[in-house]
Amino acid sequence: MKFIQKVSARIGALLPKNNFARGVSVLVGGAAGSQLLMLLAAPLLTRLYTPEDFGLLAICVGVLAMFGAIASFRYEGAITLPEDNVEAANVAALCLATVLLMTSVSAVVVLFAGHPLALLLGAPALADYFWLLPIGVFCLGTYQVFNYWALRHKNFAAMTDARLKQSFTATMLQLIGHKLGVVSLLSGYVGGLCMGAFLMGKSGLPHPAFREVRLAGILKAAKRYRRFPIYSTWSTLFNTAGSELPALMFATLFSPTAAGLYALTNRVLAMPMSIIGTAIGNVFLASATDAHREKRLAPLVTSVHDKLAHIAMPPTMLFVLAGPQLFAFVFGENWREAGAFAQWMAPWLYMTFITSPLTNLIIVLEKQRHDLAFEAILLAVRMATLVVGGQTGDLMVTVAMFSVGSMLCWAGFLTWITVHSGNSAYSLLKPTMSALTWGVLCVAPLELDILLLQGYYGWIVALTVTGVLISTRYYFLLRQAYS
C-alpha cells in the first residue's frame, strides 16, 4: 500500500495545474493504473487458475453486475445535483437504504434459489460460492454511492486511490490464495470491492452534512428525484445486460470454460482500447459541440476517425494473424483457444473502438432515440447469434457468428454517424485503407514467419520485430498528434 501511495504522490507532482485538466488526468491515470495492474497480473493468474475457474468468475461477476446496476435504483446519479450538501447527503442516505434492500433481495435469491440459478447458468459448482453475492452487491452499491459523493466534491484523489487499492487488493488475494482454488479467485474479486467501498466510505462519511440526515429529508429526496429509478434504472440495466449476458450465455450454452475463455479474451482486447477510447471520446465531445455550432463537424469526425483507425489497426492485425500463439505464449498453453477467440473478436472490437468515441455525437445532435434503437438492435443481434450458434453445438462457430454480428452492427452505426455528421459513407474508405496498409506493414515480419515456417525461435524474433515496428508507428502517430 505504501508503494501505491508513493507512486500516486510522484504522479501527482507531474499533473497539470489547471483544475479541470488535473481532474481528468487523475481519473484517467487511476483507471489506466488499475487496469494495467490487472493486465500485468493476468499471465500469472492464468497459470494458477484454469479457464473453468475464470469462467466461474465471469459468471459471478455478470450476476453481480446485474444486481449492482440497480443496487441504488440509480438515485446515486442525483447526488451531484443539489446545491445544498444536506440535501445531497439525504440522497446518499436514500441510496444506501436501497443498497441494503437489494443486498437483502440478493441474499434471499441465494438462500432459496442459489442452486437452481447455478444450474440454469450451467455452473452447478458456483452454488457453493454464491454466498459471496450479497457481500459483493453491498460493497459495489456502497462504492458507487460514495463515488458520486466524491465526484460532487471533486475529490478525484480519493477516487483514484480507492480504485488502485481495490485492484491491488483483488490481485494480491487471488495470487496469494491460489492453492485454495476458485474460491480465492472469487473472494479476491469481492475483497477488492470491499476495499474500494471501505475507502470511499471513509473519505465521504465524515462530512458534516451526514449528521443532519433525517427520514423526512430522505423521503423528500425519493420523491424529488423519482425520475432516476423510473427511467435510468432500466437504461442502465439494459446496457449492463448487453455487456454481461454474453459470458453468462456462453456458460449456459456450452460450459464455464467457454465463459472463461471469452472473458479473458474480451478483457485483454477491450481493456486498453476502452481506456484510450474513453479519453478520446471525452475530448471529442468537448470539441464537437463548438464544431457543430460553427458548421465544421464533418471534418472533425473525419479527423478523429482517421486517428482512431490508425491506432487500432496494428493490434487488430496482430491478434488476427497470431492470436493463438500470442495467448499461449503470454498466458499459457491452456489459453491457446482464447487466442482463436481473439482472431474472430479483434475485428469486432476494432469497430467498437473506432465508433464508441464518435457516439458522443448523439448528445451533440440530440439523437438519443437513435442511440436507444442501436443498443436494442445490438443486444438482439448478439443474443440471436449466441442462441443460433449454441444450437450448432460448435463453440468456435458461435464465437464467429457473435463477433461478426456485433461487428456489422457497429459498422452500420459508424456509417450512420458519418452520414449525420455531414460526410459521405465513402469517406470511411480512405482512412480505413490507409490504416490497413500501415497495419499490414507493421505485422509483415509475422506474415513472413508464417510463410517460411521458421519455428518457435523464428516466431519469437518475428514477434519482437513486429513489436518494434508497432511501437515506432505509435511514436510517429504521437509526434504527429502533438505537432
DSSP secondary structure string for all residues of 84-142: SHHHHHHHHHHHHHHHHHHHHHHHHHHHHHHHHHHHHTT-GGGGGGTTHHHHHHHHHHH
Other CB atoms within 10 Å distance of the CB of residue 474: 14
Give the whole-angstrom CA distance, residue 393 versus residue 254.
8
Backbone dihedral angles phi then psi of residue 346, each to the nearest 5 degrees: -60, -45
Total count of residues recorded for the chain? 483
Cell 490464495 sits at which residue?
177
Q: What pLDDT was estimated at residue 4?
A: 47
Angstrom distance (rounded) from CA 241 to CA 69: 9
- Going 454 to 456 to 458 to 463, the CA torsion angle's sign is positive
C-alpha cell, 192? 477488492
| Half-sphere exposure at residue 54, Cβ-oriented, CA atoms within 13 angstroms | 25
Task: Give me the pLDDT at residue 228, please.
Answer: 82
One-letter identity of residue 92? A
Q: What is the pLDDT of residue 57?
A: 94
Q: What is the pLDDT of residue 7?
A: 46
Q: Could you count the other beta carbons within 10 Å of the beta carbon of residue 88?
A: 23
Report how far apart the first and last C-alpha atoms of the chain are (Å, whole number): 39
What is the rounded distance in angstroms from the CA atom of residue 426 to the CA atom of residue 419?
Answer: 9
Q: What is the pLDDT of residue 14?
A: 46
Question: Which residues are CB-neighbours of 58 under 8 A, at least 6 positions away?
Answer: 247, 248, 251, 256, 259, 260, 262, 263
* CB contact at 8 A, 73 and 98: yes
Cell numbers representing residue 316 in the block: 487488430
> Taking a C-beta distance cutoff of 8 angstroms, is the pair 114, 127 a contact?
yes
Print pLDDT tens along the chain (483 aa). 554 455 444 544 444 454 544 555 555 566 667 777 888 899 999 999 999 999 999 999 999 999 998 899 889 888 988 889 999 999 999 999 999 999 999 999 999 999 999 999 989 999 999 999 999 999 999 999 998 898 888 887 888 889 899 999 999 999 999 999 999 999 999 999 999 999 999 999 999 999 999 999 999 999 999 888 887 777 677 778 778 889 999 999 999 999 999 999 988 888 776 667 766 765 676 677 677 777 888 888 888 888 889 989 999 999 999 999 999 999 999 999 999 999 999 999 999 988 888 877 776 776 767 777 887 888 889 999 999 999 999 999 999 999 999 999 999 999 998 898 888 888 889 999 999 999 999 999 998 888 887 788 888 999 999 999 999 998 888 777 655
Q: How far is CA 63 from CA 77, 239, 368, in A?
A: 22, 14, 28
- Written as nine digits, the cell of 427 is 469517406
Residue tagged 438515485 (cell numbers)? 75
Position 141 scores a pLDDT of 96
Q: What is the pLDDT of residue 396?
A: 95
Q: Distance (Å, rounded) from C-alpha 58 to C-alpha 419?
A: 38
DSSP 357: G
| pLDDT recorded at residue 8 | 47
Contacts of 293 (CB under 8 A, 6+ apart): none
The span from the CA of 378 to the CA of 407, in Å, is 10
- Cβ–Cβ < 8 Å for 241, 66: yes
Which pLDDT score, from 0 to 100, does residue 453 have?
A: 74
Q: Which residues lie below 8 Å from residue 271, measured CB to CB, with a gap of 6+?
A: 35, 38, 39
